[in-house]
Amino acid sequence: MTYEQMLEAVRYEGAYPDPERAAESVQRVLAALGRRLTGQERVDLAACLPVEAARALVSQVPEFDELTGWGFVKDLATRTGVSPAVARWDTGAVLSVVARLAGPDLLARILRSLPGGYALLFGQAELLASHAS
């Protein structure tokens, strides 16, 4: 997928009026994800993305505080000056496309490497382990 095709997919997912708005969301959300994702998952995801998107991901230095999915959205909202609702919308639009580019195996590894709450951001069901009594 080219970067332009990725922007068009994000524009469609987010119902954005133009590719420029989609590009803003891609850059912001992937930069935020780049602050959370480390190790081989980060490298493998960057390899799945168009070069321009991969740059946004890997240009960030990972932070090691553990943010839940909701914490990720709140942090994105604070850093970008948008409401949490807009940050959640942007995150869903971008990460649903990223999930398709990553494929199910890499996505499962990414989700295992992150704290709880990220699956929904990627448009996936959050499966919780049940504990037998």
What is the average per-residue pLDDT within 110-129? Answer: 86
Q: d(Cα 74, Cα 67) in Å, to the nearest integer?
A: 9
46-84 pLDDT, tens per residue? Answer: 999 999 999 999 999 999 888 999 999 999 999 999 999
3-9: Cβ within 8 A, 24+ apart: 3/50, 3/51, 3/52, 3/53, 5/50, 6/49, 6/50, 6/53, 6/97, 6/101, 9/97, 9/100
Q: Residue range 6-10: average pLDDT?
A: 97
* pLDDT score at 65: 87
Q: Is the pLDDT of residue 126 over 80?
A: no
pTM over 0.85: yes
Task: Report the distance separating Cα 128 and Cα 51, nearest Å.
Answer: 34
